[in-house]
Amino acid sequence: MLVNQDEPLSLTFNTYDPDTGASKSANELPSVVVYDAAGVDTTELVTVAEIVTGLYRATFTASAANFPTIGKEYIVVAEASVTGSGAGATEITAKATIGHFQLSGVNHGKDLVNSLDGRTPREVLAIIASVIAGKIDDADTNEENFRDLDDTLDRVKVAVDPSGNRSIVTFDLTDLT
């Protein structure tokens, strides 16, 4: 999976009774470590919490300090000890890969690049959404105002000549900054 720098990541994993195979809490809170592809510990702080019996969530942020190389692959490994409940109470300690990810150079949650005529993807989508799905005001005059989807501002203002041609188009993108 692709993960952006400074993006939070959550992975879940289970522990089981070695004698019965039923979900069972580990003897202690499992440890989780993030390694790079060469097996080097990234020292990223991972928080582990038990959600329900035997089901755990590991959460961390792919910080730029610990994940500085775009395109690099990482492996997330959990280690837990569980004592069985059967006669003889077998205890096992196991390590397992619970996830892997690659650090992406594109932050899908933020506008990092211009996409079209100097507009970010977010701005382009806001303009398109207003014209396609937003309310329109003053459609029978020389100016058409396309509202944003929340109906809080005129996202696109279009001056129209008597033939219906667009002569001036302006955008209000102030709420996107």
Q: What is the pLDDT of residues 154-165, one digit of tens each?
A: 999 999 888 888
Could you say which of 2.60.40.1930, 3.40.50.2300, 3.40.50.300, 1.10.357.10 is the CATH number of the domain covering 2-104? 2.60.40.1930
What sign has the CA pseudo-torsion 138, 143, 144, 149?
negative
Domain boundaries, the chain: 2-104, 121-176
pLDDT band at 63 (very low <50, low <70, confident <90, very high): confident
Tell me the average pLDDT across 67-96. 87
Q: Among 6-10, 51-55, 167-171, which stretch is predicted with the lowest mean pLDDT?
A: 6-10
Around Cβ 125, how many Cβ atoms within 10 Å? 13
Residue 70: pLDDT over 70: yes
The pLDDT of residue 7 is: 82
The set of residues, in sequence order, having a beta carbon less than 8 Å from that of 61 and lying 6+ positions away, is 6, 7, 8, 9, 44
pLDDT band at 85 (very low <50, low <70, confident <90, very high): confident
Tell me the average pLDDT across 139-152. 89
The pLDDT of residue 107 is: 52
Task: Please give the mean pLDDT across all residues of the chain.
Answer: 86
pLDDT tens digits for range 102-127: 887 655 445 555 567 777 788 889 99
